[in-house]
Structure 1
Amino acid sequence: MHSNNVEFEVYGNYALFSDPIMRVGGEKCSYQVPTYEALKGILMSVYWKPTIIWYIDKVRVMNQIQTEVKGVRPIKYTGNGNDLAYYTYLKNCRYQVQAHFEWNKNRPELEGDRNENKHHNIAKRMILKGGRRDVFLGTRECQAYVEPCKFGEGSGAYDDVNELAFGVMYHGITYPDEFYSPETKDCMTVRFWRPVMKKGVIDFIRPQECTATKKIHPMKMKIFEDKKNFSGLDEFEHEEGGTIDEFV
């Protein structure tokens, strides 16, 4: 348990956690459980600043895994008009999530913003309010909702299932501003792993622990310059509608 730990529940009628390879058109089929990247995206919609990196520690599957096939008309990737495709969604989804944040050491220009108490309190308050931005379970059409919870409380559909493996699964993408090795610097890198659910809970490994990775393409990290596109505490006070003393 980390000192800046957060716990929340996210739920929605539908979810679509798909492999990036399946997002270029045609039929789409959801994974059975949320990906690390999808849960991280939810937390970043709730609260995020470039000073911090969110790490998802674990997820608990509360409802039974069910799927539903829908006919959709996505926009064609080539030409005009729409295609006809069938998407396989998860339905009646509810998950408990435990996560924490760490400082982004790749951004020394934001070192003055490393106030753990400030960011932790704002994150908890944003979870209580349901997030700063809209929350989705995988894709835009899968609207979701966030609220605080105590991880492990309540009964889950898989509390009595000792172990369930899901094979090779997409873990997430390492972007240039979160690189952790010479191999992941100045590029986008996709990570894969083999998740195992025990008693309804999946313990996520850290991004740097993923041994199966693939470079996608080169990309440079954006640098934040003081008084140009980052104004330190002035930006924080304006965004939160108060002074720094009110929120620390």
Structure 2
Amino acid sequence: MIHDNFVEFKVTGEYALFSDPVNRVGGEKFTYQVPTYEALKGIMHSIYWKPTIIWIIDSVRVMNQIQTESKGIRPIKYSSNKNDLSYYTYLKDCCYQVKAHFIWNENRPELANDRNENKHHMIAKRMIERGGRRDIYLGTRECQGYVEPCRFGEDRSAYDETTELDFGMMYHGITYADEAYSEETKGKLSVRLWHAVMRNGIINFDRPEDCLHRQIKEMDMKPFGEEYDNFVSVDVTGGECGVLDEDAL
């Protein structure tokens, strides 16, 4: 990478549910106290994503005091097609500042012609200004979120004076086959864990390759290309063809 391709944004929402997989066995859902790496990466994908790039979440800043609220939910049990009764515990009045950047997806050499760093960076910043390309969710579908540009570190956080808050071992995210970073993760679906600590309201995430990981199953990469009708090249300049980008049209 040549340029500074960091992006910064604020995401807010009335509720959030960053669910701990351990607490979902009995049908109940209980949120983590802070966003997971994977949830923030999902928000970044809703803002702007292409298979050419991999988003890396660097830091999150917790702006509002951590509060929870439990609700009685009647989800449908697909096995019997009948309603059930469960209690979900949500975070409420959520506001986070996020800092992220992207790297090239070296697992997709066939998309090397799309590695225009300035183009992807400018589109990502433009999409943040517009609130994202797709709907934003804070963990789960029912928790609608809203994105806007910000400068990371501006304004006051409820935890500016909290020197350290340890959340212990947490779920970090999932490594899919097309984002493999080592021989152990190639052709596999892996789950990552890490030790989360917040200092003065800021959590600096470990990189995926620095986390503990556990292989779940074998997994093939999803193919992209003109022959699969999911990646189209067009001539937008009158010269050499490039990868389709609707923002360039």
> TM-score when scaled to structure 1?
0.92
* Aligned-partner Cα distance in 1 for 2:13–2:92: 8
Shift in alpha-carbon separation, 1:48–1:233, aligned structure 2, 3 A: farther
Q: Which moved more, 1:12-21 or 1:116-125?
A: 12-21
Residue 138 of structure 2 corresponds to which residue in structure 1?
A: 137
Query: Whose strand proportion is higher, 1 or 2?
Result: 2
Residue 236 of structure 1 corresponds to which residue in structure 2?
A: 244
Residue 225 of structure 2 corresponds to which residue in structure 1?
A: 225
Offset at residue 223 of structure 1 (A): 2.0
* Aligned-partner Cα distance in 2 for 1:15–1:140: 10
* Aligned-partner Cα distance in 2 for 1:143–1:113: 32
* Aligned-partner Cα distance in 2 for 1:64–1:214: 33
**One-letter amino acid of the counterpart of residue 54, structure 2:** I
Q: How does 1:1-248 map to 2 (within 5 A)?
A: 3-23=4-24, 26-210=27-211, 212-226=212-226, 228-229=228-229, 230-233=231-234, 236-237=244-245, 239-240=246-247, 242=249
**Could you report, residue by residue, the CA deviation over 1:9-30 in whole angstroms, capped at 9, with x for unpaired residues?**
0000000001234445511100
5+ residue gaps, structure 1, are: 243-248
Q: Percent identity?
A: 66
**Could you report, residue by residue, the CA deviation over 1:152-205 in whole angstroms, capped at 9, with x for unpaired residues?**
000000000000000110000000000011111111100001110000000001
SS of residue matched to 2:213: strand
CA contact (8 A) 2:123 2:247 kept: no
**One-letter amino acid of the counterpart of residue 85, structure 1:** S
5+ residue gaps, structure 2, are: 236-242
SS of residue matched to 1:147: strand
* Aligned-partner Cα distance in 1 for 2:187–2:234: 29
CA contact (8 A) 1:130 1:145 kept: yes
CA contact (8 A) 1:113 1:232 kept: no
Q: Which moved more, 1:228-237 or 1:38-47?
A: 228-237
Offset at residue 99 of structure 1 (A): 0.3
* Aligned-partner Cα distance in 2 for 1:119–1:102: 11
Q: How many residues align?
A: 239
> TM-score when scaled to structure 2?
0.92
* Aligned-partner Cα distance in 2 for 1:168–1:45: 27
* Aligned-partner Cα distance in 2 for 1:146–1:85: 30
CA contact (8 A) 2:24 2:30 kept: no
Shift in alpha-carbon separation, 1:120–1:100, aligned structure 2, 3 A: same
Offset at residue 78 of structure 1 (A): 2.3
Shift in alpha-carbon separation, 1:132–1:197, aligned structure 2, 3 A: same
* Aligned-partner Cα distance in 2 for 1:233–1:202: 41
Offset at residue 224 of structure 1 (A): 1.6
* Aligned-partner Cα distance in 2 for 1:76–1:25: 12
**One-letter amino acid of the counterpart of residue 190, structure 2:** T
* Aligned-partner Cα distance in 2 for 1:124–1:20: 32
* Aligned-partner Cα distance in 2 for 1:5–1:60: 15
* Aligned-partner Cα distance in 1 for 2:89–2:180: 33
SS of residue matched to 1:182: coil
Residue 245 of structure 1 corresponds to which residue in structure 2?
A: none
**One-letter amino acid of the counterpart of residue 106, structure 2:** K
